[in-house]
Amino acid sequence: MNLQQQSKTKVFNNQYSIIKKLSSGSFGVVFLGQDIISKQEVAIKVEKEENEEVKSLEREVQILKILDGLEGFPKFYWSGEDLGYNILVIQLLGKDLAFHFKQLKKFNLKSVLTIGIQAVSLLERAHLNGVIHRDLKPENMILGLGNEISKLHLIDFGISKVYRDANGKHIPFKEQKSFLGTTRYASIQAHLGHELGRKDDLESLMYILLYFLRGQLPWQNMGNVTDEERTKKVGELKLSLEDELFRDQIPEFQKIYNAIRRLQFKQEPNYKMIIQELRKAAESSNIVLDGNYEWSEIRQSTHFQTDTNQNLSKQNIQFNNSNEMKKSIEKQLSGAIQHGQEYQLILSSQNFLAPPPLSSRHNSIQRDDARKNSNLTQQSSIGNYCQSLNPNYQLSICDDKSGSKQDFFQNKQLSFDDEKISNFDSCEIIENGDLQQPLVQKYEKLRKGIKINLIQSLKKQMK
């Protein structure tokens, strides 16, 4: 074979070539690629076509087309099928917030407020265009490159949803839905088995901001619990701690969190108020919000590779033919795409957490909770507080021994969880005081019961 044949690289759509692997997840692999026409670097997401029970890439394509052109969301370039895989080509961005958190162990208040203000604006932008994210976490919050190195972006819309149709009609409220999202940052409504809405994205953001400030959340590292039990236990702890979750932080955080928790399902969040409170927190702490993060000054250190020196390590992957390309992708995908394990949550009538719907109790798929962070150092400053809330709380960043935790969502036999991208049931629940009151009463009873059971359980463990 001559040199010219050896140098040929397989391209998708006769335009996008793979350079190297960037990351992998439950549903596929992300590669660094290049537009061979414009020479622009791109991100290429690869998903197995035969993985029909997932189809998260199909959903993400439709969501990205809705958000395409909006500031703070990756640009959509192309999607299609090649070599038996579904392919998505989008704008290449920089490091995610999980990367910087891994380096610093926790963020200072200035960085957290800067992240919070940008994230609220991004969520408002997505919500105004009819999209709720439903899986907000540090890995899905990513900074830009070059001149946008400080600009936050939201990515990964594989389980996102359009919450209203072309006529602006809101999806109906539903109960008894399977848990959806990432256990560590999911809203209480997700644990309750309720349909998720705009307010749930904001609630997840508040858990993320608290995670950045403390370095860890009280419901991490629960001992002696199975994966099935973990989601339930975390939900109970979140519910019992909601009135005091931010007690060791500046008061604006608890005020914002309380306002979010009080929102009804279809009620529009007051994004302006949230941003004003975050700015107020900066003023009261004598913090100047100049758009910079604490890691900006040490970006050139050996622990922080920027988008500039990131290019130094690039090695082109050469493929002589399509078969070699397919084998290479198959190798990268092996272990990355995980088929769902059956989760059966057989809960008693006293348990408030959501059982999977009958149609999906044997059709659930796993989703990453968080990346492995086993090398992160311990955070002693919050140890006593967290241990007072959770006796099994360990001073470690990881959720479990393996450093990662698998969550699941419903109906893997369908490409979407309960409807097509913008269609939903015509039945509607009118939100008014009469209909909301029973739900509120039920919620308060559950909340009081959980607190009583939690206190009794803690007393028994202390004896």
Domain borders along the chain are: 15-92, 97-297+342-462
At residue 341 the predicted structure's pLDDT band, cuts being 50, 70 and 90, is very low
Residue 417 pLDDT: 44
Q: What is the distance, to the nearest Å, from the Cα of residue 277 to the centroid of all Cα atoms in its chain?
A: 24
Query: Across the chain, what does the average pLDDT equal?
Result: 75
Catalytic-role residue among 82, 96, 135, 307: 135
Q: What is the mean pLDDT of residues 315-333?
A: 57
pLDDT score of 95 more than 90: yes
Instruction: Confirm if 294 and 100 have CB atoms less than 8 A apart.
Output: no
Tens digits of residue pLDDT in 163-194: 998 889 999 999 999 999 999 999 999 999 99
CA distance 453 to 447: 10
pLDDT score of 4 more than 70: no
Q: Which residues pair with 32 in a beta bridge?
A: 20, 43
pLDDT score of 366 more than 60: no
Go through 61-81 and write b for each residue having 16 or more CB atoms within 10 A of its CB, e for each that does not. bbbbebbeeeebbbebbbbee
**CATH for the 97-297+342-462 domain, from 1.10.357.10, 3.10.129.10, 1.10.510.10, 1.10.10.10:** 1.10.510.10
Q: Examine the residue annotation and report whether 201 is marked as an active-site residue of this protein.
A: no
Please tell me the least confidently modeled range out of 112-116, 307-311, 364-368. 364-368
pTM: 0.73
Tens digits of residue pLDDT in 19-35: 999 988 767 889 999 99
Residue 12 pLDDT: 92
Q: What is the mean pLDDT of residues 65-94?
A: 94
CA distance 207 to 216: 10
pLDDT score of 298 more than 70: no
Q: How many CB atoms lie within 10 A of CB 440?
A: 11
CA distance 307 to 314: 12
Report the candidate in 343, 416, 408, 413 with the shortest Cα–Cα distance to residue 157.
416
At residue 172, what are phi and psi to the nearest 5 degrees?
-75, 155
Residue 10 pLDDT: 76
Q: Give me the percent of the chain exceeding a pLDDT of 90.
A: 53
Tens digits of residue pLDDT in 388-433: 445 444 433 333 333 333 343 433 333 344 444 444 433 333 333 4
Token pair, residue 164, equals 């209203």
Report the candidate in 326, 365, 408, 458 with the shortest Cα–Cα distance to residue 49.
326
Instruction: Confirm if 155 and 343 have CB atoms less than 8 A apart.
Output: no
**CATH code of domain 15-92:** 3.30.200.20
Residue 53 pLDDT: 61
